[in-house]
């Protein structure tokens, strides 16, 4: 017997509302809020993939006035008006659904529930099975053998599926009794009165005894005491509430198979709309099977003219065409197979004159550039990396549109050239991969450069762009090209040792458990810990199993050795698999690892890296620190590490002007000891290690918005003790609290905060009505000027150090930047000069009210570096 066809119905208001509050508030580059639409689409596409419905529709409410408000004026009267950031997104969502060819309904005088209930009833009559997706519990009354309700529970991913059996198992009710339940207990969210004084527990018991509201009133004499009086006196409210809670199955909508049949999207319209909304990760959902979208259709839908395609001269001979003057250029880069971290160009597009260089034209990079050439490009760093790797000193860049876009709006997830052209009124860049199309993209760069340069000046970040971001790019490209030496033997030795430790810890776990099992399986581990051994379980996973996440295990570790050993096992397996073994796979043919530094990712301005992610190599535990032993200097050289001391706290001292903080740094005191002395009221020489540990947690935690709850967990004290500690801290360091309040106020007024160098971070959620969202934005308002200023300082230091190294003719090379540390590969004979130079330039990179301090260390590998003071004697 064939399976019945399936109808998928979605509650538009309910799911969009859930998405709005589940996701952080975000918007397009021109300020259109889209988080609710994006979240809804995420749910929609997941349901379409998993359920494969034959028919689909979305139902929306249409205003507050319905037949229910005609019966009871106060129906839903207590609901707050939706946020201003949410309301326009419903219209936008309906526009998106239209482009996706998904029918939607919105009927005067009826709610979404009524529309879905009516369509489900009609579909059932035609033999279909209906799946209703909503967050409204009223819909449970629609459940039948042909209707299943999927209820959203948490976020946009956690749902519960209800059929008659699961509804009975969870609530002890039949679908029709959902109406009776609401009639008795009411519904605060809809302002349905119910019977005053009757809650869910009482209502469920009444229905278990008497079945329905009518049954309750038929046996009213059997109900004793105050409950009988409440029921008797409020029968009219129970009857009214039952009517209000009943979904109308005769709304003026019709299940039309052809109208509701699932169709392909209107690809050009949907693609252009998703582009406009900057839904990059969803574009594949609106790309036709042949992988193309007509550029003309894109331009028509977006309301912009298509950029005129130029005819490119194809050049495949060395020296036939060279880059000269201020040259617009785009490189199509690819990975070099078997040579990780070493990008190479497939082709090079020139915009003036329009040209495409390929093949032999790229064989000799020295033939590509005239002296005095300055490049205008988009994401130039991979091209500069390749030039450096070929022994070519690239020219100073004239402009990089990707870097400019990042500085103008650091919150964007990507900086696509086509998006920037559209945003700056240059039209639609045609998609495709031909020489003409690449040259066309290069040809728009001069005008885009002109417009973005004006925008940088208007925002007051042009100096930061010229002095920091643009000159830093070639330095990062050179660091990527140089790479860092790796000792494969050291990695192998660590891998073998970690494997031995993992086997040892595994055996200890098996002995404590009394059995062997898959320790890496959360389900098996949960069954052993909480089922077999009976450890107290704190929470469940989405699937209903035992949670064995780090938070749960850390709470158990002190009392239960097996939990501590599982944490050890996870640490060791992650070190081996994610770091030690993975590093070996990233060694290029030159025996070095070439990480990629990300300059346009962190909203604070911080640099990050990938392949490998150097910031993530754990250094708080000895096994993690030992991984640095594999990072080695080439023969005849050593590694020199220069690390800023307490850079973020020094920035706090500068911004806050707090006398106690400033004095500590001016007198070169240990800041954590000084903080402990202030808070605990003891001389600095009487501060214990435990006092200093707690003070350190506060010093770093508060600038990241840590609460008393977070502090209590991090240092192992009670919440009351943590609260008292924080209050004492702010009493002693009143300037810090003043700074925090001033930054929050500044963000509320301006909508953004800035670093000392003027770097902006927009904070659109700073005045959000939802407390948790607003609180998160307030934390960013406090922390971003601190982290961002530290980032700007590090970038200025890198530029100053590299310039001084050139001026002094040093052959040492800057190879890594991690957190507040720079690492150099330095010939042994240059150590004194480099140490002196690095210390001088880093400590003088930015003028603060407190001195900057750099700790220099030297050694044969990154793990073995030791403090170096030889430069101070020179």
Please tell me the distance from the alpha carbon of residue 831 to that of residue 808, in angstroms, as a whole number. 13
**Tokens read off for 520:** 């890496």
Please tell me the distance from the alpha carbon of residue 773 to that of residue 251, in angstroms, as a whole number. 38
Question: 353: cis peptide before it, omega within 30°?
Answer: yes
Per-residue pLDDT for 873 more than 70? no
Domains in the chain: boundaries: 6-258, 264-302, 313-482, 486-593, 651-788
**Tokens read off for 257:** 């198979």
Question: 240: cis peptide before it, omega within 30°?
Answer: no
**Tokens read off for 530:** 């909480």
Residue, of 424 and 833, whose pLDDT is higher: 833
Task: Give tens-digit pLDDT for 554-564.
Answer: 888 888 999 99
Backbone angles phi, psi at 797, to 5 degrees: -65, -40
Contact of 799 with 475, CB cutoff 8 Å: yes
Per-residue pLDDT for 713 more than 80? no
Per-residue pLDDT for 529 more than 80? yes
- For 867, the 3-state DSSP assignment is strand
CA atoms 783, 786, 787, 789: torsion sign: positive
Mean pLDDT of the chain: 89
Give the side-chain half-sphere CA count within 13 A for 855.
11
pTM: 0.72
Per-residue pLDDT for 294 more than 50? no
**CATH topology for the 313-482 domain:** Nucleotidyltransferase; domain 5 (3.30.420)
Architecture of domain 486-593: Up-down Bundle (1.20)
Given pLDDT bands bounded at 50, 70 and 90, which one contains residue 688?
very high
- CATH superfamily, region 6-258: 5'-nuclease (3.40.50.1010)
Given pLDDT bands bounded at 50, 70 and 90, which one contains residue 45?
very high
Per-residue pLDDT for 624 more than 70? yes
Given pLDDT bands bounded at 50, 70 and 90, which one contains residue 296?
very low
Task: Give tens-digit pLDDT for 226-239.
Answer: 888 888 888 888 88
Residue, of 10 and 432, whose pLDDT is higher: 10
Stretch 10-14: mean pLDDT, rounded?
Answer: 94
CB neighbour list of residue 433: distance below 8 Å, 6 or more residues apart: none
Containing 380, the helix (H) or strand (E) segment is none
Task: Give tens-digit pLDDT for 181-196.
Answer: 988 988 888 888 888 8
Q: What is the CATH number of domain 651-788?
A: 1.10.150.20
Residue 874's pLDDT is: 46
Tracing tokens 């961002």 back to the chain, one arrives at 788
Q: Which spans in 460-487 are helix H?
A: 462-464, 470-482
Per-residue pLDDT for 350 more than 80? yes
Per-residue pLDDT for 80 more than 80? no
Please tell me the distance from the alpha carbon of residue 345 to that of residue 690, in angstroms, as a whole number. 56
Which residue, 393, 378, 377, is CA-closest to 327? 377
Instruction: Identify the weakest region by mean pLDDT among 165-169, 204-208, 705-709, 725-729.
Output: 705-709
Instruction: Identify the weakest region by mean pLDDT among 590-599, 768-777, 842-851.
Output: 768-777
Please tell me the distance from the alpha carbon of residue 758 to that of residue 463, in angstroms, as a whole number. 9
DSSP per residue, 396-454: PPSEEHHHHHHHH-TT-S---HHHHHHHTT--BPPP--SHHHHHHHHHTHHHHHHHHHH
Backbone angles phi, psi at 138, to 5 degrees: -55, -35
């Amino acid at each position: 017997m064939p399976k019945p066809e399936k109808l998928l119905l979605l509650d538009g208001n309910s799911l969009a509302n859930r998405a709005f509050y589940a996701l952080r508030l975000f918007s397009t580059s021109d300020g259109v809020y889209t988080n609710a639409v994006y979240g809804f689409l995420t749910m929609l596409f997941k349901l379409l993939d998993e359920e494969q419905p034959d028919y689909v529709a979305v139902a929306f409410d249409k205003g507050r006035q319905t037949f229910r408000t005609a019966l009871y004026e106060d129906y839903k009267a207590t609901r707050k008006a939706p946020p201003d950031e949410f309301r326009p997104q419903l219209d936008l969502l309906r526009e998106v659904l239209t482009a996706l060819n998904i029918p939607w309904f919105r009927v005067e005088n009826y709610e979404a529930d009524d529309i879905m209930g009516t369509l489900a009833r009609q579909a059932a009559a035609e033999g279909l099975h209906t799946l209703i997706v909503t967050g409204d519990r009223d819909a449970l009354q629609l459940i039948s053998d042909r209707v299943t309700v999927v209820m959203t529970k948490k976020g946009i991913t956690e749902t519960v599926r209800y059929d008659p059996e699961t509804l009975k198992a969870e609530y002890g009710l039949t679908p029709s009794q959902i109406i009776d339940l609401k009639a008795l207990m009411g519904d605060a969210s809809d302002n349905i009165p119910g019977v005053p004084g009757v809650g869910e527990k009482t209502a469920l018991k009444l229905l278990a005894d008497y079945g329905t509201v009518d049954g309750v009133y038929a046996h009213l004499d059997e109900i004793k005491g105050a409950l009988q009086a409440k029921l008797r006196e409020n029968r009219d409210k129970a009857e009214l509430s039952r009517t209000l809670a009943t979904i109308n199955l005769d709304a003026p909508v019709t299940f039309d198979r052809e109208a509701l049949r699932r169709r392909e999207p209107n690809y050009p319209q949907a693609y252009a709309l998703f582009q406009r909304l900057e839904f990059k990760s969803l574009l594949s959902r609106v790309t036709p099977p042949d992988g193309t979208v007509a550029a003309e259709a894109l331009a028509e839908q977006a309301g912009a003219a298509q950029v005129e395609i130029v005819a490119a001269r194809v050049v495949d001979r060395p020296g036939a065409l060279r880059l000269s003057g201020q040259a617009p250029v785009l490189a199509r880069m690819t990975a070099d197979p078997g040579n990780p971290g070493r990008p190479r160009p497939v082709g090079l597009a020139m915009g003036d004159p329009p040209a495409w260089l390929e093949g032999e034209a790229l064989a000799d990079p020295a033939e590509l550039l005239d002296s005095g050439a300055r490049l205008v490009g988009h994401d130039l760093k991979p091209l500069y990396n390749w030039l450096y790797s070929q022994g070519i000193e690239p020219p100073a860049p004239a402009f990089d549109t990707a870097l400019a876009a990042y500085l103008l709006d650091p919150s964007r997830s990507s900086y696509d050239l086509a998006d920037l052209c559209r945003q700056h009124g240059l039209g639609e860049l045609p998609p495709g991969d031909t020489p003409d199309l690449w040259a066309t993209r290069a040809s728009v760069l001069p005008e885009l450069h002109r417009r973005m340069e004006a925008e940088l000046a208007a925002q007051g970040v042009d100096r930061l762009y010229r002095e920091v971001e643009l000159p830093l790019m070639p330095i990062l490209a050179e660091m990527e090209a140089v790479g860092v030496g790796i000792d494969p033997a050291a990695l192998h030795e660590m891998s073998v040792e970690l494997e031995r430790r993992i086997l040892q810890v595994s055996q200890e776990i098996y002995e404590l458990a009394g059995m062997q099992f898959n320790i890496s399986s959360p389900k098996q581990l949960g069954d052993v810990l909480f089922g077999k051994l009976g450890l107290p379980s704190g929470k469940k996973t989405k699937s209903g199993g035992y949670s064995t996440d780090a938070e749960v295990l850390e709470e158990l570790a002190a009392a239960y050795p097996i939990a501590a050993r599982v944490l050890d096992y996870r640490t060791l397996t992650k070190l081996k698999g994610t770091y030690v073994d993975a590093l070996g796979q990233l060694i290029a043919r030159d025996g070095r690892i070439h990480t990629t530094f990300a300059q346009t990712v962190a909203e604070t301005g911080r640099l990050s890296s990938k392949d490998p992610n150097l910031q993530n190599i754990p250094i708080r535990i000895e096994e993690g620190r030992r991984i640095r032993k594999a990072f080695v200097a080439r023969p005849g050289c050593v590694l020199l590490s220069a690390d800023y001391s307490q850079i973020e706290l020094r920035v706090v001292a500068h911004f806050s002007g707090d006398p106690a903080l400033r004095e500590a740094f001016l007198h070169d005191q240990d800041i954590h000891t000084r903080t402990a002395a202030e808070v605990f009221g003891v001389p600095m020489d009487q501060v214990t290690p435990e006092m200093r540990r707690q003070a350190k947690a506060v010093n770093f935690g508060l600038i990241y918005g840590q609460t008393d709850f977070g502090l209590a967990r991090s240092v192992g004290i009670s919440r009351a003790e943590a609260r008292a500690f924080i209050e004492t801290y702010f009493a002693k360091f009143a300037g810090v609290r003043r700074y925090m309040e001033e930054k929050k106020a500044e963000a509320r007024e301006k909508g953004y905060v800035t670093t000392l160098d003027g770097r902006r971070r927009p904070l659109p959620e700073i005045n959000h009505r939802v407390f948790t969202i607003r609180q998160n934005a307030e934390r960013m308002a406090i922390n971003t000027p601190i982290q961002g200023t530290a980032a700007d300082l590090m970038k200025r230091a890198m530029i100053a150090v590299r310039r001084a190294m050139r001026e002094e003719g040093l052959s040492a090379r800057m190879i890594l930047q991690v957190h507040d540390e720079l690492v150099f590969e330095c010939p042994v004979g240059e150590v004194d000069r480099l140490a002196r130079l690095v210390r001088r330039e880093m400590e003088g990179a930015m003028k603060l009210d407190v001195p900057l301090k750099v700790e220099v260390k030297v050694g044969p590998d990154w793990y073995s570096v030791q403090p170096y003071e030889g430069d101070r004697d020179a």
